[in-house]
């Protein structure tokens, strides 16, 4: 039985891949015609790499290949940033539910 400690990067990329596919379906995104511009933060990610350079513009499909074939941490990071921004935008447009409004006690008159 092997007891050597292992990194979970590959498992993380598989879950990122699954999550990205779910979000592509949810938001009806065209993976062949939606481009992501690579920023400095992404191009400087350490570890295994798809060799992305600052300023590159790649489709989501290309980044998915870059994440899974060479196990590119940089491609995974680019996809996570892109879809994270989409989720943040959709979350701010969603009205707060009744329960979260009721927890605000700053306007209570019983003080």
**3-state secondary structure at position 59:** strand
**3-state secondary structure at position 111:** coil
One of 10, 22, 37, 96 is an active-site residue; which one? 10
One of 43, 49, 71, 81 is an active-site residue; which one? 71
Residues 74 and 41: their CA atoms lie apart, in Å, by 9
DSSP codes, 17-32: HHHHHHHHHHHT--TT
User: Are 12 and 20 within 8 A, CB to CB?
Assistant: no
One of 3, 13, 28, 102 is an active-site residue; which one? 13
To the query of whether residue 13 is one of the catalytic residues in this protein, the response is yes
To the query of whether residue 71 is one of the catalytic residues in this protein, the response is yes
Q: Which residues pair with 64 in a beta bridge?
A: none
Question: Catalytic site residues?
Answer: 10, 13, 71
């Amino acid at each position: 039985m092997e007891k050597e400690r292992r990194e979970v990067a590959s498992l993380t990329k598989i879950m990122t891949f699954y999550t990205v596919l779910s979000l592509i379906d949810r938001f009806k995104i065209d993976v062949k015609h939606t481009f992501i511009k690579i920023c400095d933060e992404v191009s400087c990610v350490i570890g295994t790499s798809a060799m992305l350079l600052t300023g590159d513009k790649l489709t989501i499909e290309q980044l998915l290949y870059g994440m899974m074939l060479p196990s590119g941490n940089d491609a995974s990071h680019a996809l996570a940033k892109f879809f994270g921004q989409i989720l943040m935008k959709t979350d701010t447009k969603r009205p707060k539910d009744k329960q979260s409004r009721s927890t605000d006690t700053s306007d209570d008159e019983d003080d």
